[in-house]
Amino acid sequence: MSARRRLVVVGGVAAGMSAAARAKRLEPDLDVAVFERSGFCSYTACGLPYHVSGVIADHRALVMRTPAEFATEGIAVHVRHEVTAIDPAARTVSVRGLDTGEERCEPWDAPRARGRRRAPPARACPAPTCPARSRCARSRTRRRSAPGSKRAPRAARS
């Protein structure tokens, strides 16, 4: 029997909680820990303007799920914890509890890719004076308009 793999997610709002929940669904035996600096996780950031304007009076109405609800699914959510450093070589994150000031290191396993292919290398921009040759918009346009491409070049789109 192998040891349980561990995933650490930094940030517990929309993207972080979606990633944690998806990882848990794909690998139910995965140990998932989420660290969020604020006091809330899984809140609707798009509703913040409504709270500020007074349309939504109670800020707790923006919270979709609490850490306790995630705990029932095996996802440990640590609110008011700030990740201060990530050490890829040691596979650890340094975490500081904002309420207690306690600092500790949390281990994680290397993530495993599922069902994705490696991205092709970026083509160099055809303009010899372009300072960002590999990131240039002209380079991306050339890739889209390559023979067999279904997408028209940017200039040809309406």
Residue pair 46/72 in contact by the 8 Å Cβ criterion: no
How is residue 74 written in tokens?
């095996």
Query: What is the rounded distance in angstroms from the CA atom of residue 23 to the CA atom of residue 17?
Result: 10
Query: What is the rounded distance in angstroms from the CA atom of residue 67 to the CA atom of residue 144?
Result: 43
User: How many Cα atoms occupy the beta-carbon half-sphere of 29 within 13 Å?
Assistant: 5
Does 130 qualify as catalytic in the annotation?
no
Query: What is the rounded distance in angstroms from the CA atom of residue 154 to the CA atom of residue 158?
Result: 8
Query: What is the rounded distance in angstroms from the CA atom of residue 44 to the CA atom of residue 91?
Result: 31
| Catalytic-role residue among 46, 105, 125, 136 | 46
Q: What residues act catalytically?
A: 46
